[in-house]
Amino acid sequence: MREILEDICCSEVRVVVGEGSLSKLSKIKDNNAAVIYSRKISIADKINKYLPNAYFIPINDGESTKELSSVISLVEKLFEKNFDRGDYIIGVGGGTVTDVAGFLASIYLRGLNLINVPTTFLGMVDAAIGGKNGVNFNNIKNLIGTFYQPSMIISDLEFLETLPIEELKKGLAEVIKYGLTLDKELYDYLSLNKEKILNKDKQALEDIIFRSTLDKLSIVKEDERETKGIRIVLNFGHTIGHAIEAGSSFNVPHGYAISVGMVCEAKMAEELGYAEEGVVEDVLWLLQIYGLPYDISQIDAPVDLKLALNAINMDKKHRKDVILIPFPTRIGSWKKVEVPLDTVKGFAEQCLKK
């Protein structure tokens, strides 16, 4: 078990990674806590072991839950239970659950204590980290949201024991993103430890979760609210990736969309002269050895081009007639570039043709 303690803006964030880390919940056993959790998982017994008086609220896991109506329903439940500002919201589940729990914690009474307990690999390496919380609106992902840091993130490897390999792969796309843009040592580790990682070797998983957490927190600490142009690096692959998600009405898993998005954006970087020759090959190679999609033809769900291009128009990085995109320049390095909107949409059209 390993811990990270980081001061982000005005908040202290503690991350615990490893087997048995769920036991850290006992630190708040005397506090009132609402556990927002996915209906897909049996969690009550595990949580009750450490929080015998917890109030459990099950929600559906998936993008359909990330709606304002779902959040209002949760607000009503907290109101009925007389929650106050000293109480805790604990989000237990995948990225959509921790998103909703974080958004709820940030708006109720202007802020309750928040703990994230990601149960998916994607949640552990990305979604539960960083303090971004949001809900979807008009088919635009996370259009309404807040920045609100959890006081603790608990990544207990026990949750990954029964995780299907396909779910692991969906999270690996984000880990690969860190390696490509921020952390050559992580890229090399992924290159050398494929068998261990895909066989869910506990030490290997702990290593990459811990390293990914360090990488993401190092960026969030410098630019929590995306005002300095640093946090944008975490969006590599996401301009095209989010367009793929929107074009499929969110039927394409996030990790797969980002995987294809990274290839498209790496090609854009190389063709526009911002990336060293060979970067696209490096991206493709690592995605291929982990069995991740690298071409839209490998995506099963149909992707509507009109919806996808509309998502690019609505991208939060869109400024007048340009989009800010973080390009990998070589493995472990990146550069923020203003790319004309029409150029981005042109590359998107090429990438989204099956």
Query: Mean pLDDT score of the chain, rounded to an integer?
Result: 95
pLDDT value of position 237 = 98
pTM of the model: 0.93
Name the catalytic one among 169, 170, 231, 316.
231
pLDDT at 139 over 80: no
- CA-based radius of gyration for the chain: 20
Q: How many domains does the chain have?
A: 2
pLDDT value of position 331 = 97
Is 2 an annotated catalytic residue? no
215 and 263 share one domain? yes
Final residue in a domain of this structure, among 143, 160, 177: 160
CATH code at position 39: 3.40.50.1970
Name the catalytic one among 24, 238, 267, 317.
238
Please tell me which residue, 270 or 43, carries the higher pLDDT value: 270
pLDDT value of position 157 = 97
Residues 314-347 pLDDT 10s: 898 888 899 999 999 999 999 999 999 999 999 9
29 is in an annotated binding site: no
Is 231 an annotated catalytic residue? yes
139 and 194 share one domain? no
What is the Cα–Cα distance from 341 to 317, expressed in whole angstroms?
Answer: 10
265 is in an annotated binding site: no
Is 174 an annotated catalytic residue? yes
Q: What is the DSSP letter of 123?
A: I
Structure tokens of 254? 């996030």
Residues 69-94 pLDDT 10s: 899 999 999 999 999 999 999 999 99
143 and 177 share one domain? no
Residue 39 — pLDDT band, cuts 50, 70, 90?
A: confident
Please tell me which residue, 13 or 41, carries the higher pLDDT value: 13
207 and 82 share one domain? no
Strands (E), 60-216: 88-93, 113-118, 132-137, 140-147, 152-155
Name the catalytic one among 80, 82, 110, 320.
110
pLDDT at 10 over 90: no
Q: Quick one: average pLDDT of 197-202? A: 97
Residues 161-172 pLDDT 10s: 999 999 999 999
pLDDT value of position 34 = 98
Final residue in a domain of this structure, among 114, 133, 160: 160
236 and 334 share one domain? yes
148 and 182 share one domain? no
pLDDT value of position 248 = 96
Domain of residue 169 covers: 165-351
Q: Where are the alpha helices (DSSP H) in the chain?
A: 44-48, 68-80, 95-107, 121-122, 165-181, 184-192, 194-198, 202-222, 238-247, 254-271, 279-289, 305-313, 341-351
Structure tokens of 343? 């150029």
pLDDT value of position 42 = 84
Share of the chain above pLDDT 90, in %: 88
CB atoms within 10 A of CB 38: 21
196 and 256 share one domain? yes
254 and 344 share one domain? yes
Beta strands 113-118 and 132-137: pairing type? unpaired
Q: Which residue has the tokens 């981005």?
A: 344
First to last CA, the chain: 45
pLDDT at 152 over 80: yes
162 is in an annotated binding site: yes
CATH code at position 207: 1.20.1090.10
138 and 171 share one domain? no
3-state secondary structure of 335: strand
Name the catalytic one among 226, 276, 336, 345.
226
74 and 143 share one domain? yes
Final residue in a domain of this structure, among 127, 160, 193: 160
64 and 174 share one domain? no
120 is in an annotated binding site: yes
For 17, list phi and psi in degrees, rounded to 5.
Answer: -125, 130
225 and 266 share one domain? yes
pLDDT at 354 over 80: no
Question: Which one, of 23, 28, 21, lies nearest residue 88 by Cα?
Answer: 28
Q: Quick one: average pLDDT of 203-224? A: 98
pLDDT at 99 over 90: yes
Is 318 an annotated catalytic residue? no
pLDDT value of position 64 = 80
What is the Cα–Cα distance from 205 to 219, expressed in whole angstroms?
Answer: 21
Is 353 an annotated catalytic residue? no
300 is in an annotated binding site: no
Whole-Å CA distances, 92 to 41, 56, 137, 307, 318: 9, 10, 23, 31, 33
For 295, list phi and psi in degrees, rounded to 5.
Answer: -145, 145
Name the catalytic one among 177, 211, 216, 267.
216
49 is in an annotated binding site: no
Beta strands 322-330 and 318-319: pairing type? antiparallel
pLDDT value of position 63 = 78
Residues 263-310 pLDDT 10s: 999 999 999 999 999 999 999 999 999 999 999 999 999 999 999 999
227 is in an annotated binding site: no
Name the catalytic one among 136, 206, 235, 267.
235
pLDDT at 141 over 80: no
Q: Which residue has the tokens 């792969």?
A: 169
- The single-letter code of the amino acid at 337 is V
